[in-house]
């Protein structure tokens, strides 16, 4: 099986939206392909994220979405790896690793200091992938969250 990774473009909207909807369902959200399509379409229109799309044998197999940020202390850009999803039919075939490698290469090429990500404590499969790709769990900083909109 051949895996091909591309930077997603508006012409890939439907493929990314379907995968994005499945990703949200994985995180216990209700399926809403129309809302997923609108959300991803807005990302393309605003150019406020970078999405890489994996194709496996001409079928959309997964995606990774990166959001830009900055490190004030180092005065350099960083990227937030916010979303990574591989379709169930494509899992354990190298798609996730190829997407992670593409994100790393993109971050390096952009002059970024680092990539950051978070995952659920129970998502041990993803944690194993991240650690095998060289990510280290941060035991230095605490993450705090303030929910300002209770509808989420």
pLDDT in tens, the chain (152 residues): 799 999 999 999 999 999 999 999 999 999 999 999 999 999 999 999 999 999 999 999 999 999 999 999 999 999 999 999 999 999 999 999 999 999 999 999 999 999 999 988 888 888 888 888 888 888 888 888 878 887 76
Quick one: angle between helices 95-109 and 124-132, nearest 10? 50
Note the pLDDT tens digit of each residue in 57-100: 999 999 999 999 999 999 999 999 999 999 999 999 999 999 99
Nearest to residue 2, comparing CAs of 64, 77, 57, 79?
Answer: 57
Confirm whether 139 is domain-assigned.
no
Nearest to residue 23, comparing CAs of 123, 97, 114, 105?
Answer: 123
Confirm whether 52 is domain-assigned.
yes
Confirm whether 71 is domain-assigned.
yes
Alpha helices in 59-94 (DSSP H): none
Nearest to residue 70, comparing CAs of 59, 79, 81?
Answer: 79
d(CA 4, CA 77): 27
Structural domain boundaries enclosing 36: 3-132
Assign residue 112 a region: left if phi > 0, alpha if psi is -120 to 50, beta otherwise? beta
Q: Is the pTM higher than 0.75? A: yes
Confirm whether 73 is domain-assigned.
yes
Confirm whether 95 is domain-assigned.
yes
Query: Which residues does residue 69 pair with via DSSP β-bridges, in sequence order?
Result: 78
- Domain CATH number, residue 110: 3.40.630.30
Confirm whether 150 is domain-assigned.
no
Over 27-67, what HEC string results? CCCCCCHHHHHHHHHHHHHHCCCEEEEEEECCEEEEEEEEE
Confirm whether 22 is domain-assigned.
yes
Looking at the structure of the chain, the number of domains it has is 1
Confirm whether 140 is domain-assigned.
no
């Amino acid at each position: 099986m051949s895996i091909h990774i591309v930077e997603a473009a508006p012409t890939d909207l439907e493929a990314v939206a379907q995968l994005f909807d499945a990703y949200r369902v994985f995180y216990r959200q209700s399926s809403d392909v129309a809302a997923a399509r609108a959300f991803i379409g807005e990302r393309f229109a605003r150019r406020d994220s970078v999405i890489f799309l994996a194709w496996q044998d001409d079928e959309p197999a997964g995606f990774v979405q990166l959001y830009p940020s900055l490190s004030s202390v180092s005065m350099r850009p960083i990227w937030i790896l916010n979303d990574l999803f591989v379709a169930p039919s494509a899992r354990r075939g190298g798609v996730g690793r190829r997407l992670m490698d593409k994100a790393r290469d993109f971050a390096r090429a952009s002059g970024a200091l680092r990539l950051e990500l978070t995952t659920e404590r129970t998502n041990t499969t993803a944690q194993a992938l991240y650690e095998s790709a060289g990510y280290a769990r941060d035991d230095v900083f605490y993450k705090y969250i303030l929910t300002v909109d209770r509808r989420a």
